[in-house]
Amino acid sequence: MTRIFTFPTLTTALTLALAAAALADDEYNVSNSLTLTGQPLGMHGVDPVSMFEAEIPEMGNATFTSAHDGVDYYFASQAAKATFEADPTAHLPQFGGFCAFGVYVGKKLDGDVRYADIVDDKLYLFVNEEIFKKYLEDKETVIQGAHAKWADIHHTPVGSL
């Protein structure tokens, strides 16, 4: 049986399919493209577990994909994927992967795994080396301020900040 879809039907279907991706863009720092599952990619494809367990962050592989809250994450191995799935929030960066210093000043900036810090078993990402150095001058104030500000901007679209 052949099905013919009208333009309004296709438009509605496409809108619904992309709604989750649009929400993830506002809540999480994700790549601009979608993964094979149709969800956005978190942490630019870097294995979040490796941020805690490896000397340097490891690129994940789409073979080892796990979804959390509408975002796909890639892992370097099945073991890393299993570790993540046992407790996803323990391995995800704070503030949806946005730059912690950016959140501190009320913005959602890209979080780069090259500029990261783990404080009290929580992962914080920063946009670049200059901002990371600024954060290091007063970590406690930045982290506390970012946590206080996050509640106000968490659900705000990036373009509205």
- DSSP class of residue 55? S
What does 21-54 look like in DSSP terms, one character per residue? HHHHHHHS-EEEEE-TTSSEEEGGGB-TTHHHHS
Region of residue 47 (left: phi > 0; alpha: psi -120 to 50; beta: else): beta
Nearest to 103 by CA among 124, 120, 130: 124
- DSSP class of residue 7? H
pTM, two decimals, is 0.81
Domain residue ranges in the chain? 30-90, 95-153
From first to last of its 161 residues, what are the pLDDT tens digits of the chain? 333 444 343 333 333 333 344 444 467 878 767 788 889 999 999 999 999 999 899 999 999 999 999 999 999 999 999 999 999 999 999 999 999 999 999 999 999 999 999 999 999 999 999 999 999 999 999 999 999 999 999 988 888 88
